[in-house]
Chain A
Amino acid sequence: MTEYKSKRDSCRQKIASKYDILGFISSGTYGRVYKAKSKNKAGRQTQEPDSPMTLPDDGKEYAIKKFKPDKEGEAATYIGISQSACREIALCRELHHENIVGLQEVLLEDKSIHMVFEYAEHDLLQIIGFHSHPERKYMSEYTIKSFLWQLLNGVAYLHANWVMHRDLKPANILVTANGVVKVGDLGLARLFYKPLQPLFHGDKVVVTIWYRAPELLLGSRHYTKAIDIWAIGCIFAELITLRPIFKGEEAKVENKKTVPFQKNQLQKIFDILGNPTKERWPTIDQQPEYPNLASFRQTPNVLRSMYQTWPIKSEQGCNLLAAMLEYDPLKRITAEEALNHPYFQEDPKPGME
């Protein structure tokens, strides 16, 4: 295979020959993200986004996500690309939508995968932070509604394509300088059309705790795309109040085999939505952690009275929020339905910029 490999290695383009690295953006368990600018070769303006492996010689800005090589053990033997990188490459290569972060190309260098994404200046976490400090300055209803609509639009596209995101949270919702929302980080996303194994089997814990749906907190094995809608409901509330709506404390994972019961997080949810009942959620007694619910104190649903104190007054806005924070995943509104909700018909109507 030596001949084959050297032939391939010799025609592989160096990242530095295509992009100027402008700076470091962030890092995580997966690796690091850099800001880069494509080298302007011919001064061409447009590039067919779909055409693979072509030079993006448009002088545009990109975010290059460099995956750390997946190693294990003391000897640090390389064991191939991670499941998360596999998913993100496989899905991003297929998905093309205005509100999903676009993948320009994938490059290999230094035994690492580099995913070149379109660049977005901001993310919702940063925007929320900006409005909270130094003093709290609420976002306009128009801005919130525009963000929410685009977020739902992107997620509706994912769901129509049998893709569950499974990690929606403000930090993963990118926003361009023009105010276009781009759902990012599909490292936990996966197809849910007839999975070969139950979804629970592969990833024991999905979704960051504050945005995790009640069926996940109750140990559901066969969760659905409705978990993404719950997370969007949480994000909607957070855009209005600039605070996470259910800011629980995560019970730490003690060993890899068992998933701890997230009592504190559930309590935060019950404090606002009231305790879930068989009337509200008929199959709740089938959830594995159902017996644990007996230990919670009884609290009423105060979502509506709380909403009255928030800066947005629209009744329809409250209806939509309540529909996204529905306990029963079967009754929870879908992304497609949410896009057609009366809230988006009334003024101020959402815009893309």
Chain B
Amino acid sequence: MAANFWVSSHATHWILDRRRLDEAMKEDLEYVDIATLTKIKLWYYNLIGKICKRLQFRQQVVATAIVYFKRFYTKNSMRSTDPSLVAATCIYLACKIEECPQHIKHIIVDIKVVLADHGGFDYDTSKVAEFEFYLLEELEFYLIVYHPYRDLTIIAKDLRLEESNLQAAWFVINDSFRTDVCLLYAPHMIALAALYIICVVHADRFKDHANSNNSIVGDGNSGSSGSNNNMNEDSASMSSISHNTHSNPHLHAQLHSMASKKGISSHGHGHHHHPHHNTPQVEGHGINNRNMVQWFADLNVEMDEIIEITQEILSLYTIWKDYDEKNVPAMIHQLRRPTRLITSQNQNTKSEHQELLGQQQHHQKEEGELEHHHHHHHQEQLDQRHYQHSQSDPSAQSLI
């Protein structure tokens, strides 16, 4: 388990396919469109971050709490539950599992403070404690979660990555928890995608930002600096990145060339190898854009999966750009009121969002090379890996 991701409950029970996530949103989407739902979720992820920050929890606790929260909502609608109670309980359980327990009273005090201007928090200790049972049940009592940070650290060491790049990639991983990638992909793939975003896709643009400014933009508070939520101090500096994400010819060309070099497509079953066995070495100390591209190209992993994750994260920045937390209460109200969206409108907004989220995918599809049905594919890959890696090999730590 802890030494081998592939036999963990995270790998065997909690890597889901996109259809399952779509299914879980069905009820909520009868009341709000998907762009709104995405923003409501973003608000709750930020809320978990804010509470954990007040409690001085480390990022690992934030990550685990958010994963619990997401796993809960793969089985329930937001509408029929109270996400702030769910969030509070996720934080309480996560800090115990990550071995930095805090008294439940302290947690509730901080939640009340954070939620004071956002409708308050009406639950006492016994209510949160009672809800823990329900949460445990929804999580199927699988509580150990793997995060990409560990993999990133290992890869960075291997690559002798510059501190600023490591930090920037770390921030991208923080942001990735606001997307669904942690439900869809293995953590080492997310770590690689973060590295890919920093070192390949946005290498030049990012540099200036990472060095000069690690408190970040794009927190949805444009113009409301007084009531600022500081959550995104740990977020990647992506305002610069978010523009251009869906029409970046440079990126596009790179992705394309890498994908075709590796022969990635639906027939590429030959190389589902653990990168551990074949990690290309980057010569010299400095990592530049060019040899990172080569490093990724030589890496024996499914490059198309890394590209999917990359796109998923980059599309978050697109959504984030016009996210304003002041609008969220109205959105939550809309979700809770009994009026359904009329069907045609529903469809309209759906397709609009698909356009938003799917722009990168559309690009891929045009290329032909990258066309694939990743849902099925993904599961197959997992199964194969599962058998390939001996259970008792502790060196096969979650990758590289």
Contacts and interface: CB of A to CB of B under 8 A. Distances in A.
Contact of A78 (B96, B129, B142): B129
Contacts of A83: 96, 101
Interface string B72-96: 0000100011100100000011001
A161 B96 contact: no
B145 to A, nearest CB: 10
Contacts of A96: 7
Nearest to A5: B134
A196 B392 contact: no
Contacts of B129: 77-80
Interface string A69-92: 000000001111101001001110
Contacts, number: 105
A312 B399 CA distance: 45
Given A1-B85, A4-B76, A93 B104 contact: no
Interface in B107-148: 125-126, 128-134, 136-137, 140-144
B99 A190 contact: yes
Contacts of B99: 190-191, 195-197, 202
Interface residues of A, number: 40
- Interface centre among B131, B133, B143, B392, by most chain A C-beta atoms within 10 angstroms, is B133
A3 B80 contact: yes
Contact of B81 (A4, A79, A91, A111): A4
B60 A196 contact: yes
B58 interface: yes
Contacts of B96: 80-81, 83, 86
A95 B76 CA distance: 28
A80 B132 contact: yes
Interface residue range, chain B: 35 or more
- Interface centre among B82, B92, B97, by most chain A C-beta atoms within 10 angstroms, is B97
A142 interface: no
A257 interface: no
Contact of B104 (A79, A160, A162): A79
B55 interface: no
Interface string A237-271: 00000000000000000000000000000000000
B98 interface: yes
Contacts of A194: 150
Contacts of A50: 12
A121 interface: no
Interface in B1-16: 1-4, 7-9, 12-13
B100 interface: yes
A94 B1 contact: yes
B96 to A, nearest CB: 5
B9 A93 contact: yes
A95 B8 CA distance: 8
B117 to A, nearest CB: 22
Interface string A41-79: 000000000101100000000000000000000000111
Nearest to B141: A106
B141 A161 contact: no
Given A1-B82, A4-B80, A89-B143, A95 B128 contact: no
Contacts of B144: 90-91, 93-94, 191
A86 B2 contact: no
A129 B191 CA distance: 53
A196 B136 contact: no
B98 to A, nearest CB: 6
B329 interface: no
B103 to A, nearest CB: 8
Given A53-B140, A108-B136, A108-B137, A161 B3 contact: yes
A8 interface: yes
A190 to B, nearest CB: 6
A196 B104 CA distance: 19
Interface in A111-141: 111, 113
B193 to A, nearest CB: 22
A163 interface: yes
Nearest to A95: B1
B97 A196 contact: no
Contact of B128 (A5, A80, A89, A94): A80
Contacts of B81: 1, 4
B137 A8 contact: yes
A108 B133 CA distance: 7
Nearest to B101: A83
Contacts of A196: 58, 60-61, 98-100
- Interface centre among B103, B104, B128, by most chain A C-beta atoms within 10 angstroms, is B104
A202 B60 CA distance: 17
Interface in A25-47: none
Contact of A93 (B2, B58, B143): B143
B165 to A, nearest CB: 21
A60 to B, nearest CB: 20
B286 interface: no
A78 B126 contact: yes
Interface string A317-339: 00000000000000000000000
A93 B137 contact: no
Nearest to B138: A8
A161 B1 contact: yes
B93 A86 contact: yes
Given A4-B81, A86-B93, A196-B58, A94 B3 contact: no
B312 to A, nearest CB: 27
Given A3-B80, A4-B81, A191-B144, 20 more contacts: A1-B81, A1-B131, A52-B142, A78-B125, A78-B126, A79-B125, A80-B93, A80-B128, A86-B97, A93-B143, A94-B1, A94-B8, A94-B144, A95-B1, A111-B133, A161-B1, A190-B99, A191-B99, A195-B99, A196-B99
18 contacts: A4-B76, A4-B80, A78-B130, A80-B92, A80-B93, A80-B96, A80-B129, A81-B136, A93-B142, A94-B9, A106-B136, A108-B137, A160-B3, A162-B2, A191-B99, A191-B144, A196-B100, A197-B100
Pick the 3 closest A-B CB pairs, nearest first.
A94-B1, A80-B129, A90-B143
